[in-house]
Structure formats: C-alpha cells, structure tokens
C-alpha cells in the first residue's frame, strides 16, 4: 500500500494542488453521476436515483462542472428532456464560471480591484468574444422549434 501511495505521490509531484483538486472533484462528480444514472436506469425511472439532484449539482458548484457535463453527454447521449434540462443548464453555467476562475488563477485575466483601476481592453475584448461564442453555442443547442424525438 505504501508503495502505491509513494508512486502516486511521485506522479503528482510538481502539480499545483488546485489542479489536483479540480481533477479530483471532476472525476468524483463524473463517477457519482454514472452511479446515479445506472441506478435510475435499473429502476426504469429517471426520477429515482442514488441522490437528490441538488446534492449532485453541488459537486458542479464545487468545481466538478466538467465532470457533470461529460457524464450528461455520455450517459444521456446529448438527449435533453424536461427531466435533465436543469442539469444541462447548471453544468454549462458552472463550467463557464470555473473556466473564468481558472483563467484568473492562471493570470490570463487580471482582476485589479484597487480604486481607480482601469479596464484591460484586450481582456474585455477576449471576454466579449468568449461570451458571444458561448451564447451562440447555447442558442444552437437549445434551438427553438426543435422537436423532441422520444
């Protein structure tokens, strides 16, 4: 057991703890969604799973939005319906929030909260382009008039 732990420690040596946290919370979120989905499929009812949906959504808030979105894409096969649309929306919103958090952490976006601070024009343009792109993608995914093929 000690040998396995020391090998794991060597594998993550030099990796920032924040990156390890994000990888771990995303893996945990994916696994919990997979277990919940398997139990719901076994019960033949989409409303009966292992956990309450609010608890699973808290994992996305804590940083597991990518794991949540991947689980939804794999296990629901991009099938949105009235039972899982809130999870899709939550995953997308929290993924955007966590991408911005990581960009600030990495120094790509500089947040200057001092009085009299000026805006960084290239960052504002990049953020505007990002928001425009994500809105177009979201509109395409939730295209009005799309018929649900159950």
Q: What's the CA gap between 49 and 26, in Å, rounded?
A: 19
Q: What is the rounded CA–CA span in Å between residue 65 and residue 127?
A: 20
Distance, CA of 117 to CA of 48 (rounded, Å) = 51
Span 83-97, pLDDT tens digits: 677 778 888 888 988
Q: Can you tell me the distance from the alpha carbon of 87 to that of 53, in angstroms, rounded to the nearest whole number? A: 8
Predicted pLDDT of residue 26:
95
Distance between CA atoms of residues 117 and 138, nearest Å: 33
- Helix, strand and coil content of the chain, in percent to the nearest 5, comes to 70, 0, 30
Give the pLDDT confidence score for residue 54 in this predicted structure. Answer: 75
How many percent of the chain have pLDDT more than 90? 11
What average pLDDT does the chain have?
77
Dihedral of alpha carbons 75, 81, 82, 86, sign: positive
Identify the residue with better confidence: 140 or 113: 140
CA dihedral (6, 22, 61, 115) positive or negative: positive
Using alpha carbons, select from 70, 102, 100, 99 the residue that is nearest to residue 87: 70
Task: Note the pLDDT of residue 150.
Answer: 44
Contacts of 118 (CB under 8 A, 6+ apart): 112
pLDDT tens, residue by residue, 14-29: 788 888 999 999 999 9
- What's the distance, CA 129 to chain centroid? 20
**Which pLDDT tens digit goes with each residue over 78-133?**
566 776 777 788 888 889 888 888 888 888 877 766 666 666 777 777 888 888 88
Query: What pLDDT does 24 receive?
Result: 94
């Amino acid at each position: 057991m000690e040998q396995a732990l020391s090998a794991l420690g060597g594998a993550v040596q030099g990796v920032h703890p924040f990156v390890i946290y994000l990888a771990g919370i995303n893996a945990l979120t994916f696994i919990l969604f997979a277990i919940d989905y398997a139990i719901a499929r076994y019960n033949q009812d989409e409303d009966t799973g292992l956990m309450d949906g609010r608890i699973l959504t808290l994992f996305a808030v804590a940083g597991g939005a990518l794991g949540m979105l991947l689980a939804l894409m794999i296990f629901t096969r991009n099938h949105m319906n009235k039972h899982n649309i809130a999870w899709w929306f939550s995953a997308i919103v929290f993924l955007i929030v966590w991408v911005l958090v990581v960009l600030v952490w990495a120094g790509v976006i500089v947040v200057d909260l001092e009085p009299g601070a000026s805006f960084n024009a290239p960052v504002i343009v990049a953020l505007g382009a990002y928001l425009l792109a994500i809105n177009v993608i979201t509109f395409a995914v939730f295209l009005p008039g799309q018929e649900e093929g159950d």
